[in-house]
Amino acid sequence: MGSKDFDLYLAPVQGNDPTLQMIHYLQQFGADDTAQHNLDVAEAARELALRYHIDADKAYAAGLLHDISVVIPNADRLAFQHHMLAPVLPAEEAAPFLLHQQQSALLAETVFFVTDPEILSAIACHTTLRENFGSLDLVVFLADKIKWDRKDQAPFLTDIQAALTDSLEKAAKVYLDWLFAGDIVVPHPWAVAALAQLNHELL
C-alpha cells in the first residue's frame, strides 16, 4: 500500500459527538462489529472507573477508541507505522497485529483530536499493559478483557471478576498469568514488564 492510501485512515472526523464519530468512522470501513465492541468496552471502562474512583469520562473516551485501528489491515500495519514515523519493536515485527493498540492511539490523536495523555496511554497499551502503568491504563486494559471480542466465553472472566473485589492490579495479573500460560504467540516486552511489576507489587 502506498503512503497516499493511508490518507483514507487519517482524514479528520466531522461532528462533535465522540460516540457517533467513532461509529461513523468504522462504518465507512465496514467494521460495525468493532464499533459495537468499542461501545461495550467504553461502558465497561466507565463502570470500572466509577467503582475505583477514577475519571469515568476519560475511561469511556479511551474505551471508545481503543480498537479504532481495526481499519488498518494487519498486512499494512508495519508500513503504516513507518509512515507515521513511529517505532516498531521486534515482537511487533513478528506479529504486526500487536501494533494495533499503538495505532489506535495514533488515530485517536490524529483523526479524533484526542490530546489527553492519560487517554492516549490507556489506548496505546490496552492489549498488553506496560511497565509503570497508570490507573486508567489498568481500567481500559481490564475492560477490554471483560468484554472479550472472541466468539467463546472469556475463560478467565470469573477469576478476573473475583480478583476485582481486591484490586485492579490483582485482576490484571489474573489475565497476564493466563496469557503467558498458553494463549500467546509472541511475548510483547510491555506485557512481560507489566507482569514483572505486578508480581513484585503483589508479593
pLDDT of 151 > 80? The answer is no
pLDDT in tens, 177-194: 999 998 677 899 999 999
pLDDT in tens, 93-107: 999 999 999 999 999
Residue 69 — very low, low, confident or very high, per pLDDT cuts 50/70/90? very high
**Sign of the C-alpha dihedral, residues 33, 36, 40, 45?**
positive
Give how many domains the chain has, as a whole number: 1
CATH number at residue 151: 1.10.3210.10
The mean pLDDT of 56-70, rounded to a whole number, is 98
* 66 φ, ψ (degrees, to nearest 5): -65, -30
Q: Measured between alpha carbons, how far is 176 from 201 in angstroms, rounded to an integer? A: 14
Record the cell numbers describing residue 15, joined without a space.
461532528
Residue 1 — very low, low, confident or very high, per pLDDT cuts 50/70/90? low
The mean pLDDT of 27-49, rounded to a whole number, is 96
The mean pLDDT of 120-136, rounded to a whole number, is 98
What one-character-per-residue DSSP string does the chain give?
A: --GGGGHHHHSPP-SS-HHHHHHHHHHHTT-HHHHHHHHHHHHHHHHHHHHTT--HHHHHHHHHHTTGGGGS-GGGHHHHHHHTT----HHHHH-GGGGHHHHHHHHHHHTS----HHHHHHHHTTTT--TT--HHHHHHHHHHHHT--SSSPPTTHHHHHHHTTT-HHHHHHHHHHHHHTT--SS--HHHHHHHHHHHHHT-
Q: What range does the domain containing 126 cover?
A: 3-201
CA 118 to mean position of chain CA atoms: 13
Q: How high is the pLDDT of residue 3? A: 55
